Structure 1
């Protein structure tokens, strides 16, 4: 604690930002627990960049931690690129503009040009800009779906994908070599603009992003720019951007593809980093959708769409038997993959060489579906960057068109290769087109999902998240994982544990469908080592446990596979209780 107080005093002596200084003075006069949480470590620069509570100290998001991270990134870029440049975007969270301008000033002082979106834009628009502008890297200031006190710093490589594991290590090493007060080179943002080292991204880049999204339509006339798609106006939608970035791009693509009957949740339209109607703006949870669901009861749409603050994920509710049923990320993933396969086949495309990608924690239902359609399915670690890497491998082999769809259970989806991250803009378009297609046949999305369950078996999935905040929480999570690995249970929820998989040890990537010879692009791959532990149970069910990479939580993923819906629901409840006891 003495070392932390010394570090706090150094920050007080050097921080000239008035708000940070005020917060430091409050910490000095407060209790030791608050000081420890703010100073016990530096924010770790993982494969997703930085993410933390906005505040003072090295374990918080502030202008100094952003500047230090950017100096490390600049050192890495100057060491690896001849004339590096960086695209930058932000969402609606607090301090986003300040963080963007600080980052641009640091890059400019290091001889690196920065291209900034002039207003808030979705994360996928940033991924697109990196590729479209030929940048060496990208930065998006966002904390995705975290609670309002958070902000973050996502880093992207030149391929528009979140940085690779090795790049993250190299950048972290460069950051570690930077003293937060002595080693950061910076200039005021206004000087960077005047010197031509920082400039705003033009509207033409965003237009090209919308064009690229429209090209992923499975309706040929829409892809060609025809706004009068047959039957498009039959789909009625309520949409909420949850006070984030989705409003501009989602409404543009819906209008362009003929979805004209869109009602907005007015109190959630304007950007607001406080997220006053849902402090935890996560479309995975019902609380974030309550305003939208209430509006649905008034206007009676076919669908509710809700995008998270940086508009890379989308949640929905579908009208069924007079009520609105929430559809999970796993369920929407299999619905969209099935729809895209059928639509592509109807256009005469051969599915035999197509590749879909999902994660090790996504539903097992997709394996049977992929086999039925005759496509290859690859499973990667949690994190959409790993899906993006698989697209990169296909591109390197000269066959990017093989990629048909990628999804993760946490409501992230991607069709097309225009970006290398999950994209709620393209997902919103495809969900509406799928709903229109089913509606024309007298079927809603819940009925379409039930048909998939009847064909491939009833799979129920759930995720448990237990919070362990602060330094003590990190120690507890590490202890839980160590105990599971050392002494895994013999049975869970009355089902024998048949096999355990420790992803720390490097595991061959699960893949269904055809695989080529060892020297072919489809050769078996080894997944990077990860802090994930899987327990495979009798009957095809399983339990996977991992600490979150972006929040102070440990997560348990539950998989119940049964012949009937009733049995699957009952088993899922048993797995829930058993998992909570196991992680207590």
Structure 2
């Protein structure tokens, strides 16, 4: 019996050569082709892959399936980031975009992301429609299709993206600012772009290595130890940017080698775009993001909305409403004036432009944010526990069995997506199973990093006993 293929929070992901096979990629591609033909008069698909093992093989598989169904295909030349494909979906008037990527997952994984013609994730309802028509067996006629077919055009999405960046940023201001900047590509698909945009900055892990040197390409502190060490050893770095495997998530470091989380980045973006650029709009954030975003939005008179976790929910708002910033805790952020899509490089360039134009350090800009919303720290733990224990914890959350975590008494619970327990207006912890990985995530916010870690520790002791 064929594997049951399910799309998670952001696409279908599986271990290469286990469930992620040529045959299964063909099955998903066939369903995508059927859906596109049903919903578009002149269907056209743009497709690309990131730096993962055999990305080219899996793209060629999908392209052959699409062509066998009479669909015109724009196939990216070389590896590309997810934002490049999303941008191309808009610029090349495509019905959908497909990215062969497992994003930030470990190197043993690959995946299949679906992008809409509007330049962001395909809506959950439409993804479900495609998932529902994935067949156990499909015709084999795709195997004999030639990539030299007239329906296939090889396209340079990297150059298109670079030109789009140059048209939207004051690159000269950044380049001539005297700032000492570093970019850690994490061996991911963003590695060539900044070499073309800002060739004189410093680069780490900006070469092709499908194993990612054994480190999952997720731009969080525990995976960026080499970058942290580099900053501390150099002693003269102003800011460092990191992006994940498909370059849609952002990680950031200040000049002291301290990790700057996405909550602070979202607040910095709102502050810069509102106060310095004079822009306005709604603020949309995922449930795991700090409530201080709402405080920042209120400060500028902007409406704000909290949605379920998964950037597709934020994108859904962005395509229908006037949104200034949409973001999530995991590093996926989008802004007005670009596509409704996460883009780690784009967000990093906004921060660097902010620093260049203000003449201030990243820490000084964060202090401006703190003057509005107060200072805070955030930390997250990913608990790799048994499925049985995970389900038991979620059951306890559902049944309101937790009244305190150590000395922290629960005052309020919010359940938009997962379970967010508030102890007071400065401290909270949240519990939620991952939608893409076999882990239970625990998030905490407190006035200091030390206390955030204590909250995580006390919560873990309580739920895992």
* TM-score with structure 1 setting the length: 0.74
Match of 2:434 among 548, 552, 577: 548
Q: How far is 1:466 from its partner?
A: 0.9
Partner SS for 1:75: helix
Larger radius of gyration: 1
In the alignment, does 2:253 pair up with 1:317? yes
2:432 is the alignment partner of 1:495 = no
Equivalent residue of 2:147, what SS? helix
Give 1:578 deviation, angstroms: 2.4
CA-CA distance at 1:170 after TM superposition: 1.1
Q: Does the aligned pair in 1 maintain the 2:429–2:456 contact within 8 Å?
A: no
Corresponding residue number in structure 1 for 2:127: 168
CA distance in structure 1 between the partners assigned to 2:439 and 2:184 by the alignment: 27
**Closer, same or farther: CA 303–501 of 1 in aligned 2, 3 Å:** closer
Match of residue 305 from structure 2:
378
Alignment match, 2:164: 212
CA, structure 1 residues 264+288, in 2 after alignment: closer, same or farther (shift >3 Å)? Answer: same
2:239 and 2:362 in contact (8 A); partners too = no
In the alignment, structure 1 residue 273 sits paired with structure 2 residue 273: no
Q: What is the TM-score with the length of structure 2 in the denominator? A: 0.92
Change (3 A) 1:498 1:184: farther
Query: Does the 8 A contact of 2:443 with 2:456 survive in 1?
Result: no
Partner residue in 1 for 2:202: 263
Q: Distance in 2 between matches of 1:51 and 1:294?
A: 32
**Greater RCO (CA < 8 Å, at least 6 residues apart):** 2
* CA distance 1:200–1:462, shift in 2 (3 Å): same
CA distance in 2, matches of 1:336, 1:578: 33
Which position in structure 2 is the counterpart of 1:425? Answer: 345
Q: Confirm or deny: 8 A CA contact 2:66 2:73 kept in the other structure.
A: yes
Q: Select which of 108, 112, 115 maps to 1:153.
A: 112
| Equivalent residue for 2:376, pick from 446, 454, 459 | 459
How far apart, in 2, do the equivalents of 1:374 and 1:253 lie?
35
Q: Report SS of the residue matched to 1:234.
A: coil
Residue 551 of structure 1 deviates from its aligned partner by: 0.9
Q: 1:454 to 1:299 in 2, by over 3 A?
A: closer
Aligned match of 2:276 in 331, 336, 343? 343
Deviations 1:458-515 (A, max 9, x none): 32222121124xxxx4454333212210133122343332333333xxxxxxxxxxxx
Separation in 1, partners of 2:342, 2:190: 13
Measure the CA separation in 1 of the matches of 2:329 and 2:361. Answer: 21
CA RMSD, aligned part only? Answer: 2.4
Aligned equivalent of 1:368, options 295, 319, 324: 295
CA–CA distance in 2 between the matches of 1:554 and 1:230? 40
Task: Identify which of 166, 187, 194 aligns with 2:148.
Answer: 194
Residue 243 in structure 1 maps to residue 187 in structure 2: yes
Q: Secondary structure in 1 aligned to 2:410?
A: strand
Q: Tell me, in whole angstroms, the C-alpha distance in 2 between the residues paired with 1:146 and 1:280.
A: 6
2:458 matched to 1:578?
A: yes
Compared CA separation, residues 445 and 576, structure 1 to 2 (3 A): same
SS, match of residue 187 in structure 1: helix
Q: Cα deviation per residue 1:226-247 (whole Å; 9 max; x = unaligned)?
A: x643883311112221111112
Give deviations 1:115-155, integer Å, cap 9, x for gaps.
Answer: 11111111100101111111111111111111111111111
Aligned partner of 1:331 in structure 2 is 264
More helix by share: 1
Q: Which residue of 1 aligns with 2:7?
A: 45
Superposition deviation, residue 98 in structure 1: 0.7
Partner of 1:133: 92
Once the two structures are TM-superposed, the CA of residue 541 in structure 1 deviates from its matched residue by: 2.9
Aligned residues: 464
Residue 184 of structure 1 deviates from its aligned partner by: 3.9
Taking the aligned partners of 1:355 and 1:188, their CA distance within structure 2 comes to: 48
Residue 556 of structure 1: CA displacement? 1.6
Deviations 1:516-551 (A, max 9, x none): xxxxxxxxxxxxxx5x22323334533222111111
**Match among 357, 363, 367 for residue 437 of structure 1:** 357
In structure 2, the CA distance between the partners of 1:188 and 1:370, relative to structure 1 (3 Å rule), is same
Once residues 449 and 295 of structure 1 are traced to their aligned partners in structure 2, the CA distance between those partners, rounded to angstroms, is 19
Structure-2 change in CA distance of 1:210 and 1:461 (3 Å):
same
Do 2:181 and 2:237's aligned partners in 1 also have CA atoms closer than 8 Å?
yes
